[in-house]
Amino acid sequence: MNSINVAYRRFPGYGDIISPILYTHFISRYFNVPAHLKFFYQKKLSGDPAFFEEREMYEHPDSEDVRMRTDYVFNNTDKSNLTCDVSYSHEGLSEPYHKKHSMLEDVKWHNYGLAREDLRWVGGEEYVVFVTTKNNQVPFDKYPNNSKMWKDPLSNDEWDKLESFHHKIKYIDYTTPIEEAVEILRKCRLVISYHGSAAWLARWLGCPQVIFSGNPKLTEWSFPNAIIRSKFDEQLCVTSYALHCQKVGIERTQQCIGQMERQIKHGAA
C-alpha cells in the first residue's frame, strides 16, 4: 500500500470535521503511508420536508464558513503525510476513495486524537462551559422520526437547574467563532454538554467532559474520555463533584492517548 485516499460524505458539523481528520491521521500512521482526505459536504437535507430544505444544515447558523473551520482543525492537528481538500457537493466522488471507517472497523481508537500540544486544554479558570441544544434553530423534536432526540435527554428545565448551581459559566454553540471557542474551552474547569456540537471540539482539545446522552453506549464509543450520563445528575450541581469530574477527565484523556498510540504501534509493526 503506497498511499490511502479517504472520502467523507456528511453535513458540516464539528463531529463531521474532527472525526474524519483524526481517522485519516490515524490510518496514515497505522499503515505508515501518506493519506489524502477529501470532504464532500452537503448543505441541504435532501428528501426531507420543505421546512428542512429552506435552512442551512446546522443546528444553529454557523458564524463561519465550514471550509474555514475544517482548515483550522486540519492545520492544528499533526498533519505529517496528510493532505486535505473540501468540496460542497457529493458530485465527483469515485474510487479510489475509501468510505470513511471502512478499513478499521474493529479499532476503537481510529478517530481519537488531539490538537497540537500548545493548543490543548490547560485549565486554571473556575468557569464551566455549557454546550446545550436550547439555542438550536431547529429543536431536535422537529427532526423527522425524532432522529436526533437521543443526543440530548435533558429537558430545558433540567439544563436550567444544572446551570443555576454554577456561578461562573460560559456558553458555546455554532455561533461561537472557532478560535474564540478554543480559547474558552482550553482554560475551563469542565465541559458539560449533549452529544454533539462543540463537545467534539472539547474532545479534540483534551478537555474534561461530562456528556448527557440517550444512547450511552454510542457516546462512550465516540467519547471514551468523557463521563457519560443518560439522565439529570444532581451531583453535577456540587462544585466538589465538578472538580472530581475534572480529575477523572484528565486521567481518561491520558489513557485514551496511550491506547491510541499502542494501536498505532501495533499496526506500524
| Model confidence at 52: pLDDT above 50 | no
Please state the domain count of the chain.
2
Domain limits for position 198: 117-258
What pLDDT is stored for residue 185 in this prediction? 98
**Over the stretch 120-174, which tens digit does the pLDDT of each residue have?**
999 999 999 999 998 887 788 888 888 899 999 999 999 999 999 998 999 999 8
CATH number at residue 138: 3.40.50
Of the pLDDT bands very low, low, confident and very high (cuts 50, 70, 90), residue 54 is very low
pTM above 0.75, yes or no: yes
Residue 269 placed within a domain: no
Contact residues for 247 (Cβ-Cβ < 8 A; gap 6+): 208
d(Cα 96, Cα 106) in Å, to the nearest integer?
22
Same domain, yes or no: 14 and 145: no
Domain finish residue from 47, 80, 114:
114
**Over the stretch 74-133, which tens digit does the pLDDT of each residue have?**
999 988 888 888 776 555 555 445 544 445 555 567 788 999 999 999 999 999 999 999
Cβ-contact 151, 213 below 8 angstroms: yes
Cβ neighbours of 169 (radius 10 Å): 15
Q: What's the mean pLDDT when you consider all of the chain?
A: 84
Same domain, yes or no: 86 and 210: no
Of the pLDDT bands very low, low, confident and very high (cuts 50, 70, 90), residue 55 is very low
Cβ neighbours of 234 (radius 10 Å): 10
